[in-house]
Amino acid sequence: MERWLEYHIPDYMEGHKISEFLHQMRFSNQNLAVLKRMPESILINGSCEYMNYRLKKEDFLQVHIREEKISQKIPPKSLPFSIVYEDEDIVVVNKPAGMPIHPSMNHYENTLGNAAAYYYGQQNKAFVYRCINRLDKDTTGLTILAKHLVSGSILYDSMVKREIIREYFAIAEGADLPEAGTIDLPLGRKPDSAVERMVDMASGERAVTHYKVLGRKEGLAFLSLNLDTGRTHQIRVHMSAIGHPLIGDFLYNPENSLMKRQALHAGRLCFNHPISGKQIDLSAPIPEDMLMVFPEFRGYL
């Protein structure tokens, strides 16, 4: 990918180094190290400069990002790639059920990474795969991909600082589920399993899930959920732990067959754009398999 970032230097940054200004713009140390190795990546008023150049007010700074390598271990494949939002810095995709985020031993050519590699390969654009918020294979919904090293670094930092607001929607067994609640239970790996997680009060990592019941019918509850943390299988394990597992969840609720996958959808994302800073607020419709159980939520998003 190639990207030009442009900045007009404000008065208060006069006398500061370019590197100091870029740190204020949330460039990471690694970003700066990579940019130093890129030829003609830093320009002041059209001329190449080093990172230690002292800025003058009204200087015009350009950062020229050129990434010519691609993710070598992700073969391009023509797969569903439903774009909800795209610009020069990010792309947000509505991931379908049954699609893993990353290639692995058993899923080498059917992942979101393969779909992204194909999409940008068709445009003859070098694309390094950087997925910001990961979803389980059978969880549907919004996933952010960064299109270059700077947007990726800023978005990863935003995830760590919990600046990206994610709202999930789920269907749980919920005849007696309270109208709203918070689940604060630590999670860890289940012994002898590479996949499953469990509540681990002794050595688990803290995990906090907030839920609200939006609708009920026939012993089921349609939920909105927000996370303070982002542990693997967090919603699935937490809901199971309080006795209200998600329907269709083959790992944590194997006896329920109302759906062919866990009823979980990443329906809303709200975050500040990594480069412009403007607020991005996106949604993806509730998928059809969940609407077959709760058709009254058609058009909710």
Question: Catalytic residue numbers?
Answer: 136
The token pair that represents 232 in the structure block: 């693997």
- One-letter amino acid for residue 18 of the chain: I
The answer to whether residues 266 and 166 touch, using CB atoms and an 8 Å cutoff, is yes
Task: For Cα atoms 133, 121, 97, give the angle at the middle one, nearest 5 degrees.
Answer: 40
C-alpha to C-alpha distance for 44 and 65, rounded to whole angstroms: 15
To the nearest 5 percent, what fractions of the chain are helix, strand and coil? 20, 30, 50
Q: Distances in Å between the alpha carbon of 301 and those of 265, 269, 284, 296?
A: 11, 12, 6, 12
Q: Distances in Å between the alpha carbon of 220 and those of 116, 235, 297?
A: 36, 16, 14
Q: State the sign of the Cα–Cα–Cα–Cα dihedral 127, 81, 267, 284.
A: positive
